[in-house]
């Protein structure tokens, strides 16, 4: 009987050792993650230790990357299927990148985590938890979510400005209802001109609407990029619009705050509200 108990204890200890080594191995595997696009770059740079990141997309350190400073010194790659397989990565993070070979990648043994598309705080929290778990950084994700909720409540408690805001980009595109930018402007306390005009999605801003019913404030973005895309027929080229942007209060939001859907909405809203007060 005693011999049997001793044998059971030995088996138990061996199983525990095997389980422990398996857990340690699983955590160790998290140390070689790659990102396939600059939006997934942001999740990795926000949640992972630098030592966990094997490679980022070519846009990770560009001016439209929110965490460009954190990307310094980290390898960048072309995010092709061949490079992923050669790198022997333990985790692939992608938002929209790799769509052309995703079905092939899913047939390999390489784990793939894809943040869900959508805006709003709850979607952001889901995505932070999703990527945090995949990286073994649940505590860091929880801390980010807790901080976000506190800041969210502070901003939500501020009085609405009731100003009519028009959003415009260098290409002359505006954000209509159903876009995360329109949601952002409403959250920041504005009434949006695009909703008044019944604009849905991403559409060219009608020149006549700007001229005959000017907004109280203009919110622009992506004008800070090195080579902003100004189309030949963009209303930004029109002198009347340029004059309006000089005369009407205008806030230019750095493109890095709005380059990824929903991830930095709070930062963008805080940026705008701070400048309204001033």
Predicted local distance difference test score (pLDDT) of residue 8? 37
Give 118 or 45, the one with higher predicted confidence: 45
Query: Residue 229: what pLDDT?
Result: 56
Structure confidence at residue 6 (pLDDT): 42
Range 63-67 average pLDDT? 91
Say which residue, 196 or 119, is predicted with more confidence: 196
pLDDT-wise least confident of 17-26, 64-73, 200-209, 263-272:
17-26
CB 34 within 8 Å of CB 56 = yes
**Whole-angstrom distance, CA of residue 115 vs CA of residue 80:** 19
What is the average pLDDT across 242-252? 89
Mean pLDDT of 161-171: 88
pLDDT of residue 230: 54
Query: Cβ contacts of residue 23 below 8 Å, gap of 6+?
Result: none
Sketch out the chain's domains with CATH numbers: 30-154 (3.40.50.1980), 160-277 (3.40.50.1980)
Read off the pTM: 0.80
How sure is the predictor about 25, in pLDDT bands with cuts at 50, 70 and 90? very low
Determine contact, residues 167/181, Cβ cutoff 8 Å: yes
* Mean pLDDT across the chain: 83
């Amino acid at each position: 009987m005693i011999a049997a108990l001793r044998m059971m204890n030995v088996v138990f200890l061996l199983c525990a050792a095997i389980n422990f080594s398996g857990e340690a191995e699983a955590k160790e595997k998290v140390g070689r993650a790659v990102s396939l696009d600059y939006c997934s770059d942001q999740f990795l740079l926000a949640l992972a230790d630098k030592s966990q990141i094997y490679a980022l997309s070519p846009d990770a350190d560009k001016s439209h990357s929110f965490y460009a400073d954190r990307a310094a010194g980290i390898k960048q790659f072309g995010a092709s299927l061949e490079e992923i397989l050669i790198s022997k990565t333990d985790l692939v993070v992608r938002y929209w990148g790799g769509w052309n070979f995703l079905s092939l990648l899913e047939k390999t043994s390489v784990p793939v985590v894809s943040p869900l598309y959508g805006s709003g705080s709850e979607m952001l929290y889901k995505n932070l938890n999703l990527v945090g778990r995949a990286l073994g950084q649940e505590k860091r994700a929880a801390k980010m979510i807790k901080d976000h909720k506190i800041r969210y409540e502070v901003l939500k408690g501020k009085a609405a400005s009731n100003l009519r805001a028009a959003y415009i980009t260098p290409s002359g595109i505006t954000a209509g209802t159903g876009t995360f930018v329109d949601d952002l402007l409403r959250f920041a306390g504005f009434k949006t001109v695009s909703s008044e005009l019944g604009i849905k999605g991403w559409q060219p801003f009608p020149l006549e609407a700007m001229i005959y019913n000017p907004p109280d404030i203009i919110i622009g973005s992506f004008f800070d990029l090195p080579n902003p895309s100004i189309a030949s027929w963009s209303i930004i080229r029109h002198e009347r619009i340029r004059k309006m942007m000089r005369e009407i209060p205008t806030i230019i939001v750095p493109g890095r705050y709005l380059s990824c859907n929903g991830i930095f909405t709070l930062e963008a809203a805080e940026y705008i509200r701070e400048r309204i007060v001033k």
